[in-house]
Structure 1
Amino acid sequence: MRPNTQHSMNRSHNHIMKKKKRRKRNIFLLLTLIFLSVISITGYFALQTYVAATNSYEVIDGREEKSELREEPVFVSNDPFSVIILGIENYTDENDRGRSDTIMVATFNPEQQTMKLVSIPRDTLVNIPDYKSDKINHSYSIGGKEKVIATVEDFLEVPIDYYVTVNFQGFTNIIDTLGGVKVDVPFDFNDINRDWERFYFYEGVQTLNGDEALVYARMRKQDPRGDFGRNERQRQIVAGVIDKISSPSTFLKIDDIVEVISDNIGTNMRMREALAFIKKYPDFNASSIEQQEIKGYDEYINNIYYFTPDKESVNGLKQTLKEHLELIENTNEIDTSQEITTNQIQS
C-alpha cells in the first residue's frame, strides 16, 4: 500500500506543481499581453503623431537650417528658441493667399521654463522687406509665410526659428476636438460670423466651442481697447488650448487631433524636435506664459487706418525678447534709427 500511497502523493505533488507552472505561465502571458498592448498603443500614438507631423511639415523657402540672425542652428532640447504663430484667413479664392489675421511671436527659455508671448496687431505699420511700409498682415498675401517671417525679424530684430500656421477652419476644428476652451470674458458683447450667425458672450468664465472661440478671438470694434483687447482675448485662447493639450484626456482623442493637424496646420518643426520640446518642458502650461504688449497709437494715412507702434515700446520689447533668447551680444545693439514715415508709404 505504501508504494501506491507514495505514487499518489507524487502524482498529487506533480499536479500541484503543474498548476503552479500553468498559473505562472498564465500570469507571464497576461503580463506579456499587457506589455504588448502598451507598446502597441504607444507605438500607434507615435506613428499617428509622426504621420501628422510629416503631413504638416514644410520648410521655410530660401532658408537652410537657421535664421540669418542666428550664428548657429538652435536645438530645442538645449537652446532658447522662437516660434511665430500665424492665423491665416482662408476665405479667399484660389489665386489669393489670404492674410495673416493673427500674428503672435513666442520665445521659449529651457533654463527658466518660461514662454514670452507677444501679439502683433494686424494693422501695425511696419517695413515689409523688398516691398514698402504697410500693414503687417498684408505681408502674407505678398509673399506667404516667408515674407511674414522676414517682416517680423526686421521689426523685432530677433530670429524666428520655427513657424506654425493655422487656418481658421483648423482653428475651430482643433478647439472642438479638444472639447472647447475656457476663457474669462471681460465684458458682455455679441457678434456675428461670416455666415451671419450671432453669438453672445457674457462677462465671466465660459467654455467656448470652435465657432464661438473664433468669433471671440476676432471681435475688435466693440472692444474699448480695440486691437489690444482683441490680442488679449487671442492670448486667452492660446493659453486655454495649451492647458487642454497638456491634459491626459487629450491622449484619448489622438485620432481626431491627428486628422485636424494634418489638414489644417503647417510647421517646420520636425517630429524629433517636437518630442524634444515635450521632454524638455514636461510641466509646461498656461501659467508658464508671460504676456508682452506693443504700445502705440492709431493713425490715418491717405485715409487708411494704421496702428503705429511706439518706438520706445518696441525697443523695450526687442531687448526683452533678446534677453529671453539669451542673445547677449545683441542686447545693447538695439537699432533706434528705424523710423516709419508717411512718405515711405506708396499709394
Structure 2
Amino acid sequence: MNMKEEKWYKKKKFRRIVLGTVLLLLLGIGGYAFSIFKSFNSAIETMHQPIEKTNKRDNDISMQKQDPFSVLMLGVDETANNSGRTDTMILLTVNPKEESVKMLSIPRDTKTEIVGNGTVEKINHAYARGGVEMSIATVEHFLDMPIDYYVKINMEGFKDVIDALNGVTVVNDMDLTYKNDHFPKGEIELNGKKALVFSRIRYEDPRGDFGRQIRQKQIIQAILDKGTNLSSLLKIDDVLGKLGENIKTNFTLKEMLSIQKQYKSLNKNIEQIQFKDGNGGKEAGVWYYYPDETELSEIKQTLKGHLLLK
C-alpha cells in the first residue's frame, strides 16, 4: 500500500468511525424518543376518563375554531380505601381569541346545593357523594355556567410527581409552621411530602383557605416550571408514569395537542379571581362559607361573559 492509498484508507476509516458514532447517537436518541412516545401514550390512555357532555351547552365547542371553554380542576384526597373529598376546586375559563384565562378558586366550605344528592352542604362534599360527575353538576349549578372539561388530581399521590422531579422551589410569602414542619419566609426547596403539607396548611395561616389557594397555585406553577427544564427530561418516564397514575381527565390526546399548539401563550395572561366579600359561620357545629350574593352574581357574569355566554 503506497502513501496515497494509506492516506485514503485512514480517511475512509475515520469517516466510518464518525458515521458509526453519529449513527449510535441517533439510534440512542431515537430509542429514547420512542420510549418517551410510548410512555406519553400510555400515560394519556391511563389519564383519559370521559364523562357525559354538559347539558348547559346548546352547541358543541371546537378547539379548532378557538371556541372559549371551561375547565374544572379538582384536587382530591383519595386513597385505595377512601373515595375522598375535593381539597381544591379551581375553575378556569379560557378565551383563545382574547388570549386570556380567568381562574376562580372556589372555597371548599362553600354552602350550596349538592346536585343529584338532594342535600345542601359543603361544596367539596359533592365528590364524596357522586364523584367527578356530581362535582361538575354542583359547580355548574352554583355558577350557572357549563363545565366543558375537568382535570382530577390525586393530591396524596401527586407528591410522587414532585419527587420524580427531584423536588420544587417556591417563594413563601409568610413564615409558617405545621406540627414538625417549618416553612420560613423566602425561597424554599420542597420534596413531595413537604410540598403536600405546604399546600394544605389552612388554620395556621390568618388568610385561611385563601392563603392555602395561593400556596397550591405556587406548587402547580413550580411543577410546570421544573417540568420544562432540560434536566427533568432525563426523568420523563418516571414523571409521565406518576402523572398517569394520579391524574384523570376527559381531555383527549388531540385536544391536549391542540391546546399545546394553539394556546401555549395563554399562561402569560391569567387573571385570578377570588371570593372576598363573603363570611363564615357554624351550623350544628359545622363551619360554612357563605358567599356574598352580589359578589357571586358579578363573578358569574364575568365568567359567562368570558365564555361569550349570555
The reply to whether TM is greater than 0.5 is yes
Match status 1:171 vs 2:158: yes
2: CA distance, partners of 1:235 / 1:322: 23
1: CA distance, partners of 2:186 / 2:206: 17
Deviation at 1:15, TM superposition (A): 6.9
Match status 1:290 vs 2:290: no
Residue equivalent to 1:302: 284
Name the SS of the counterpart of 1:145 in structure 2.
helix
Residue equivalent to 2:297: 315
Match status 1:153 vs 2:140: yes
Residue equivalent to 1:99: 85
- Residues 39, 241 of structure 2: 8 Å contact kept: no
Match status 1:256 vs 2:238: yes
Offset from partner CA, 1:121-144 (integer Å, 9 cap, x none)? 110011211322210011011101
Deviation at 1:200, TM superposition (A): 0.4
Equivalent residues in 2 for 1:80-229, closer than 5 Å: 80-90=68-78, 94=81, 96-130=82-116, 131-192=118-179, 198-229=180-211
Relative to structure 1, is the Cα distance of residues 252 and 324 closer, same or farther in structure 2, using a 3 angstrom cutoff? farther
* Residue identity opposite 1:88 in structure 2: V
Moved more, 105-114 or 260-269: 105-114
Offset from partner CA, 1:290-338 (integer Å, 9 cap, x none)? 211123111223332110111222222222222333x2x42xxxxxxxx
Deviation at 1:283, TM superposition (A): 4.7
For structure 1, the 5+ residue unaligned runs are 1-7, 193-197, 331-347
1: CA distance, partners of 2:62 / 2:22: 38
- Residues 158, 242 of structure 2: 8 Å contact kept: no
- Residues 156, 196 of structure 2: 8 Å contact kept: no
- Identity within the alignment, %: 38
Deviation at 1:229, TM superposition (A): 1.6
Paired positions, count? 307
1: CA distance, partners of 2:190 / 2:60: 39
Moved more, 164-173 or 145-154: 164-173
* Residue identity opposite 2:302 in structure 1: T
Offset from partner CA, 1:220-262 (integer Å, 9 cap, x none)? 1122122222222222222222222233333221111122123
Deviation at 1:32, TM superposition (A): 4.7
For structure 2, the 5+ residue unaligned runs are none
What TM-score, normalized by structure 2, do the two folds share?
0.87
- Residues 170, 265 of structure 1: 8 Å contact kept: no
2: CA distance, partners of 1:75 / 1:37: 39
* Residue identity opposite 2:71 in structure 1: V
Relative to structure 1, is the Cα distance of residues 283 and 14 closer, same or farther in structure 2, using a 3 angstrom cutoff? farther
Deviation at 1:213, TM superposition (A): 1.6
2: CA distance, partners of 1:318 / 1:114: 17
